[in-house]
Chains A and B, each alone.
Chain A
Amino acid sequence: MTDPSITRATVPGHVPAEAVCPWDHYEQPELLLDPVGCYDEVRAQREALYSPLFGGFWILTRYDDQRRVLQDPEHWSSVNSAIPNRGVRLLPVNLDPPIHTKYRSIVNGPFSPGSVRQLEGRIRTVCRELIERIDPTREVDFLDEFAKPFPATVFCAIFGLASEQYPRFIQWTEQVLHTSDVLVRDTATAELREYLGDLIAKRKTRPQSDLLTDLVQADVEGVGLTDDELLDFSQTIFTAGLDTVTNALAFMFRHLAENPQDRMSLLASPSLAPSAVEEFLRLYSFVQLVRTRRVDTKIAGVEVKQGEMVLLPLASSGRDADAFPGADEVIMERHPNRHLAFGAGPHRCVGSHLARLELRIALEEWHAAFPTYALVPPTGPVGHGGGVSGLTEVRMRIDSA
């Protein structure tokens, strides 16, 4: 049921009647059943839809159109990154070039492929320790026992957080990212910012060897970040770092639990892991990005006016048959695989190399320990929407699979 508090805008005159569809990218029933596959039918019908919910916004469904928007920040601004708009600014997410480039460069180095490679041993240790704690004789809660603590523990170490508090961090992140309830979202945001503000103050007096200290010591053209900028920046890294790999793990391992032939292929050829990760990212691209048009234009057969927002459900581009032959099949050796799971253009996910490494290590270590596992079918819908869509339940049987 769509929340009655959701504002429904009057549809502007330039929107063709056949494009209008009240799509709720948080709670749409089809999305709760299948957060990524729900866009297949939408895309089959239209390249562009207009949802009158949340004040009104466009949805672009095709790979080419989504990529065009993401690669053109001059005409498609990132000033809003959520529908409905957030009360706070995220850095560098809500900046456009050229100023974006200066802030973004602060985090490029720490998350580069070369920097991330240095962490492989530590990440593998975290992964193995979690797997050793899993009791394969009983039903496994894949999210709580693995998909949440694994990336959260890695992230806490990089960022400079006490990893034993990760359940609280995850709760904040989920409340900030997954709900259209503005009160829940803004309350969690305020709590998180107070917590981060306290940590930032501590790092200023006692620097540590962590990303938070890197931020505190960073400068843009010789000027350090203000306290507000530090909060805006650290909140972005925090929420992005805690939630996304969990969802990628959930989709990937649920697929393998449900499709033994794909799991067998991977077990027979472990060197397929890196390209298998790309294929699962393509098929389950769960992020929904937002851009705002700067000047009137035509795209995907519709007119988008200055100031109108577009939602780009990346799940839809990843499954677009015009961009990917055999788009609905899993082809673990697929090449090329130019999916947009990490976005495109200047805002491409800075954590993508860390995410890829964590996903590959998870495949390798999980399969070394548990080659056979089966999904415990959920009793109801387990999807959730928002800026980062995902699954709220993945339960497995290991021994009896």
Chain B
Amino acid sequence: MTDSANDRLVVRLDRDRCSGHARCASEEPDFFLLDEDGYSDLDADVVVKPDQIDAFRRGVAACPEDALTLEVAHETKELP
């Protein structure tokens, strides 16, 4: 059984696709960090808080490579 209340919105980075356009950071510099070469340095599976959804959506949508995706991570939990 899944419990949708435990579904989380996460941002995923495909490092092989990122080619350093830095459009994400240009849109939302507080949320999309870059490494010293200018490539995305997003931690694995960043969990998006409800008040950050719009900012993350903008940053993800800006990527010309589709290196970033916003996904719902289903968390399965046993019900008692």
A335 x B62 contact (CB < 8 A): yes
Q: Which residue of A lies closest to B22 (CB)?
A: A113
Q: Which residue of B lies closest to A110 (CB)?
A: B37
A113 x B19 contact (CB < 8 A): no
Taking the complex as formed, is B26 at the interface, i.e. its CB lies under 8 A from any CB of chain A? Answer: yes
In angstroms, Cα B64 to Cα A348, docked, is 11
Q: Which residue of A lies closest to B29 (CB)?
A: A113
- Among A67, A105, A344, max chain B CB count under 10 A is at A344
Nearest-neighbour CB distance to chain A for B24, whole angstroms, equals 11
Q: Which of A111, A114, A336, A339 meets B34, CB within 8 Å?
A: A114
In angstroms, Cα B20 to Cα A340, docked, is 13
B21 x A352 contact (CB < 8 A): yes
Q: Which of A113, A114, A274, A344 meets B65, CB within 8 Å?
A: A344
B residues 1-21 near A (Cβ < 8 Å) are 17, 19-21
Give per-residue flags for B59-80: 1 if the beta carbon is below 8 A from chain A beta carbons, else 0: 0011111000000000000000
Taking the complex as formed, is A109 at the interface, i.e. its CB lies under 8 A from any CB of chain B? Answer: yes
B37 x A340 contact (CB < 8 A): no
In angstroms, Cα B34 to Cα A353, docked, is 13
Q: Which of B25, B27, B64 meets A113, CB within 8 Å?
A: B25
What total of A-B pairs shows CB separation below 8 Å?
55
B34 x A346 contact (CB < 8 A): no
Taking the complex as formed, is A108 at the interface, i.e. its CB lies under 8 A from any CB of chain B? Answer: yes
Contacts of B61 in A (CB 8 A): 335-336, 338
A105 x B19 contact (CB < 8 A): no
In angstroms, Cα B21 to Cα A241, docked, is 17
Q: Which of B17, B37, B62 meets A71, CB within 8 Å?
A: B17
B22 x A344 contact (CB < 8 A): no
Give per-residue flags for B31-71: 1 if the beta carbon is below 8 A from chain A beta carbons, else 0: 00010111100000000000000000010011111000000
A114 x B21 contact (CB < 8 A): no
B36 x A109 contact (CB < 8 A): yes
In angstroms, Cα B61 to Cα A216, docked, is 39
Q: Which of A67, A105, A346 meets B37, CB within 8 Å?
A: A105
Nearest-neighbour CB distance to chain B for A6, whole angstroms, equals 34
Contacts of B25 in A (CB 8 A): 113
Nearest-neighbour CB distance to chain B for A395, whole angstroms, equals 33
Bin chain B's interface residue count: 20 to 34
Q: Residues of A within 8 Å of B, CB-based: how many?
A: 25
B64 x A114 contact (CB < 8 A): no
Nearest-neighbour CB distance to chain A for B22, whole angstroms, equals 5
Contacts of A274 in B (CB 8 A): 26
A residues 306-357 near B (Cβ < 8 Å) are 335-340, 342, 344-348, 350, 352-353
In angstroms, Cα B28 to Cα A39, docked, is 34
Taking the complex as formed, is A112 at the interface, i.e. its CB lies under 8 A from any CB of chain B? Answer: yes
Nearest-neighbour CB distance to chain B for A343, whole angstroms, equals 8
A353 x B19 contact (CB < 8 A): no
A338 x B22 contact (CB < 8 A): no
Contacts of A350 in B (CB 8 A): 20
A112 x B21 contact (CB < 8 A): no
A338 x B37 contact (CB < 8 A): no
B38 x A338 contact (CB < 8 A): no
B20 x A348 contact (CB < 8 A): yes
In angstroms, Cα B64 to Cα A67, docked, is 9
Nearest-neighbour CB distance to chain B for A341, whole angstroms, equals 9
Nearest-neighbour CB distance to chain A for B53, whole angstroms, equals 16
In angstroms, Cα B61 to Cα A335, docked, is 8
Nearest-neighbour CB distance to chain B for A397, whole angstroms, equals 35
Contacts of A348 in B (CB 8 A): 19-21
A112 x B36 contact (CB < 8 A): yes
- Among B19, B63, B65, max chain A CB count under 10 A is at B19
A108 x B38 contact (CB < 8 A): yes
Q: Which of B19, B62, B63 meets A346, CB within 8 Å?
A: B19
23 contacts between A and B (CB under 8 A): A67-B64, A71-B17, A108-B20, A108-B37, A108-B38, A108-B39, A112-B36, A113-B22, A113-B38, A274-B26, A335-B58, A338-B23, A338-B62, A338-B64, A339-B64, A344-B19, A345-B19, A346-B19, A348-B19, A348-B20, A350-B20, A353-B22, A353-B38
Instruction: Please name the 5 residue pairs, one residue from A and one from B, whose CB atoms are nearest each other, closest first.
Output: A112-B38, A108-B37, A338-B64, A336-B61, A348-B19
